[in-house]
Amino acid sequence: MYGQINGASRALEDVRARQQEVQEAAHRKVDQLRQEYLEIKALIDASEASSTRKIKEEEKRVTSKFDNIYQIILKKKSEIQTLKEEVELALTKGDEFEFLEKATKLQGITTKPVFVPKVELNHELIKEVCQGTSDLKNELKRCLRQPQDKKPEELTVPGDAGGHCGPHTPKTHRPAKKPLKEEKKPRKPASAALNKPVTFGSSEHLVNLKPTVQEGAAKAPPVPPTSASLTAKVLENFLTKSRPELLEYVVKVVLDYNTAHNKVALSENYTVASVADTSLNYRPHPQRFTYCSQVLGLHCYKKGIHYWEVELQKNNFCGVGICYGSMERQGPESRLGRNSASWCVEWFNTKISAWHNNVEKTLPSTKATRVGVLLNCDHGFVLFFAAADKVHLLYKYKVDFAEAVYPAFWLFSTGATLSICSSK
């Protein structure tokens, strides 16, 4: 009985542990879904902006032609008016010789009738843009109408705590039904169960908790840092890692259209940012930068270790860093590194500086055009590397992050371009 009581106690703990795992897995799935939907919304917003821009450009092209035609006709009218006045003036001459001389000169001047060329909008282009938008809407409706006939148990698999949430998830989870059927075995006598895993539940859903204990022992969650010495040791370890070792933590960074300043142009599937010559007139958004030409990454990071690299082109007025989502979007304090909510390395002409809380630290110059950023949320530090075949440290910050952080980028001069390197 003592053995059974101990087994039951362990089983209770295991049930709670598995319940916690399920809750954490569900929360992770919800976070992943939220990020996916944010990206979908950003893609739709960008598509709308692109379609609107095409029609606006076509409108501008046609109206510009009309402006030119208007100026030509206005000039033509002025010439005809001047000729008319000269003819009327000649008719008032009393001297016949003077009249004949003036009339001879006027006869050599010819005027052509006013002609207005045909100018129209490119209706094929407009039709194509509208059809593309309609096709996108219909495809979205079709996807949303697909029946959601998957059973809950097909989506719940023990140990699936960190899988990717994607469209093929239900298919890969179907085999999980087989182990559940194999557990439908009759209970053994109590005397034989003293050293066996304890099972609870009805005859339809028996749950064997012994494998869970073994999995927990094999895959114990990482222990959070408990001292500054541990953080220093982890930091020192990362400072000695090679570039291939850092690339093991690489993540895919996508730029957030809704945060881009009106002079920051995004391209290449939102992985390239550059400075436009004129305002792009993005639609207003509460997260959009309105003072500095900056843009944030779409995804935020609150825990774990993450690494990404950025290629700089014409790197004389640009910056790479991280910031809290709560960072200001308006006014001088919204500039990267000029507040307490952001950290960055900045290229200003030939000078390289690290900025945080409006405090500048001048750094040694480097010829490297690629910057690596390693963010360790668990131990509280961010490292900036000059990345080539080998990496060398540009600057490091030790931070007890108070909230989730986003990749952040600043561009100033026309022609400056930042490219997020492929996660591959």
Residue 409's SS3 state is: strand
Which residues fall within 8 angstroms of residue 230, CB to CB, at 6 or more apart? 379
Q: What is the rounded distance in angstroms from the CA atom of residue 42 to the CA atom of residue 283?
A: 12
Question: DSSP secondary-structure letter at 361?
Answer: E
Residues 43-57 as b or e (16 or more Cβ within 10 Å = b): bebbeebebeebeee
pLDDT of residue 310: 95
In percent, the amount of the chain with pLDDT more than 70 equals 80
- State the angle between helix axes of 123-145 and 2-91 in degrees (0 to 180), rounded to the nearest 10: 160
pLDDT of residue 216: 39
Which residues fall within 8 angstroms of residue 424, CB to CB, at 6 or more apart? none
Long-range contacts of 33-38 (CB under 8 A, 24+ apart): 33/165, 35/298, 35/299, 36/165, 38/256, 38/298
Most confident of 12-16, 110-114, 412-416: 12-16
Residue located via tokens 């030939």? 350
Residue-range domains of the chain with CATH: 2-145 (no CATH), 231-420 (2.60.120.920)
Residue located via tokens 């005809």? 80
Q: Which helix (H) or strand (E) holds 136?
A: helix 123-145
Number of CB atoms found within 10 A of residue 36's CB: 12
Q: What are phi and psi of 180, to 5 degrees?
A: -65, -40
pLDDT band at 207 (very low <50, low <70, confident <90, very high): very low
Look at 63-72, 218-227, 258-267, 280-289 and tell me which has the smallest mean pLDDT: 218-227
pLDDT of residue 418: 93
Whether residue 168 has pLDDT greater than 50: no
pLDDT band at 177 (very low <50, low <70, confident <90, very high): very low
Most confident of 28-42, 91-105, 261-275: 261-275
How does strand 207-208 pair with strand 351-356? unpaired
Whether residue 202 has pLDDT greater than 80: no
Structure tokens at 185: 């075995």
Give residue 166's identity as a one-letter amino acid code. Answer: G
Residue located via tokens 């509280």? 380
> What's the whole-number average pLDDT of the chain?
81
Neighbouring C-alpha atoms within 13 Å toward the C-beta of 55: 14
pLDDT of residue 292: 93
Structure tokens at 365: 């110059």
pLDDT band at 424 (very low <50, low <70, confident <90, very high): low
- State the angle between helix axes of 96-107 and 2-91 in degrees (0 to 180), rounded to the nearest 10: 150
Whether residue 201 has pLDDT greater than 60: no
Are the CB atoms for 313 and 345 separated by under 8 Å? no
Return the closest-CA partner of residue 76 out of 117, 114, 118.
114
What global pTM score does this model have?
0.50
Are the CB atoms for 321 and 337 separated by under 8 Å? yes
Question: DSSP secondary-structure letter at 175?
Answer: G
pLDDT in tens, 26-84: 988 898 888 888 888 888 888 888 898 889 999 999 999 999 999 988 888 888 888 88
pLDDT band at 95 (very low <50, low <70, confident <90, very high): confident
pLDDT band at 410 (very low <50, low <70, confident <90, very high): very high
pLDDT of residue 156: 42
Whether residue 198 has pLDDT greater than 80: no
Max distance between CA atoms of the chain, in angstroms, equals: 143
Whether residue 214 has pLDDT greater than 90: no
pLDDT of residue 315: 62
Which residues fall within 8 angstroms of residue 255, CB to CB, at 6 or more apart? 266, 270, 271, 273, 295, 296, 297, 298, 409, 420
pLDDT band at 15 (very low <50, low <70, confident <90, very high): very high
pLDDT in tens, 326-377: 999 999 999 999 999 999 999 988 889 999 999 999 999 888 889 999 999 9
Whether residue 180 has pLDDT greater than 80: no
pLDDT band at 220 (very low <50, low <70, confident <90, very high): very low
Q: What is the rounded distance in angstroms from the CA atom of residue 186 to the CA atom of residue 190?
A: 12
How confident is the model over 167-172, as a mean pLDDT?
40
